Amino acid sequence: MPDTLGVAIIGYGYWSPKLIRNIRANPRLKLLAICEKDETRHERIRSENPGTDVVKQYKDVFSRSDIDAIVIATIPSSHYRIAKKALEAGKHVLIEKPMVLKSAEGEILIRLARRKKLTLMVDHTYLYSPAIRKLRDIVQSGGLGTLYSIESARLNLGLFQRDVNVIWDLAPHDFSILLFSLPEKPTHISVVASRTAVHPKQEHPQESIAHIMLYYKSGLVAHVHVSWMSPVKVRQLTIVGSEKMALYDQLVPAPVTIFDQGVYPKTDAAESGPLFEYKTGGAQQVEIPIAGEDIAAMIEDFTESIRSGKEPVSSALLGLDIVRMLCAAQVSLARGGRKIRIVYEQSNPALLFLRERYTRLRHRY
């Protein structure tokens, strides 16, 4: 393997410049090409990225022997098609979230990457945040006691997406944090949502506000609120335990705070007196180690996975579990908020083969 890996990025939108900056900062990577189908943007891309090839067709980068890895930063509905062609061309792949829009597509990509011994990874950047890693350590060490409930709020004004609703756009962040931090996966999901802004040119208007409930076997319940229609930006996660409570607020200098507070039944409660007593201890801000950008750590994990073959933190398997949660959420939404079981089991390999053959024939004809 060469000392420096050649990288191409497909798509040049909101997130691409952040990825490009961190790819350039990594001494083990070299950005060789940017692929953007909108040729009217090529001049600006060249001026912002001197010395990097700018092309229209991604097949032009897949055929290059000096390019080892592909970063896909296009709209979600194109992820599967581009990732599959990149893997077939022998390229390592990093995909923006969500990984794909169908769980079967994710399973096909994982099987293909394994067969070709290639790294397939999803950009769930929060898993590389020192604050989230510290919160995970606190939760998994039992520092909060038995977990009762979780409240997450991810709100902002926009950005409205063309091909996915607010659930597929924002909830993957929260789902990734929960899968990473908790010792168990949710078993069921229910969703209610609304469309507050409908564009006349959209054939299928997207939901812009959603309330998602996740149910766990232990009895834990998590509520995830996502919105493109909030006047203020909110990025908060509250975890309520039997001993203590934790608050993660991404937008403040000290993002993790532990509250020594709780509610306990009174064993000697009088018939007409209060049934509970309340512990109202202090609040302690958790010291978070200073680190560079979360994206830089994610890019480095991708690089190390390519070189060593180890499973990255934000693995394709985790990305697929998030897609399965999103698919179940979409079913619940279609069924009026009914509680839906989340299916994590792999599909039948024979069925995957037939689906893939059908997809090939459909695209051919």
In this predicted structure, the answer to whether residue 7 has a pLDDT above a threshold of 60 is yes
Query: What residue segments make up the domains of the chain, in order of their start?
Result: 127-285
Which residues partner with 261 through β-bridges?
Answer: 280
Residues above pLDDT 70, as percent of the chain: 94
Architecture of the domain spanning 127-285: 2-Layer Sandwich (3.30)
State the Cα–Cα distance between residues 277 and 83, nearest whole angstrom: 55
Q: What is the pTM of this model?
A: 0.92
| β-strand pairing of 120-123 with 92-96 | parallel
pLDDT digits (tens, 9 = 90+) for 125-138: 999 999 999 999 99
| Most confident segment among 244-258, 264-278, 342-356 | 244-258
State the Cα–Cα distance between residues 311 and 88, nearest whole angstrom: 20
What is the Cα gyration radius of the chain? Answer: 22
pLDDT digits (tens, 9 = 90+) for 192-206: 999 988 777 777 789
In this predicted structure, the answer to whether residue 163 has a pLDDT above a threshold of 60 is yes
pLDDT score of 350: 63
In this predicted structure, the answer to whether residue 352 has a pLDDT above a threshold of 80 is no
In this predicted structure, the answer to whether residue 267 has a pLDDT above a threshold of 80 is no
pLDDT score of 248: 98
pLDDT digits (tens, 9 = 90+) for 59-74: 899 999 999 999 999 9
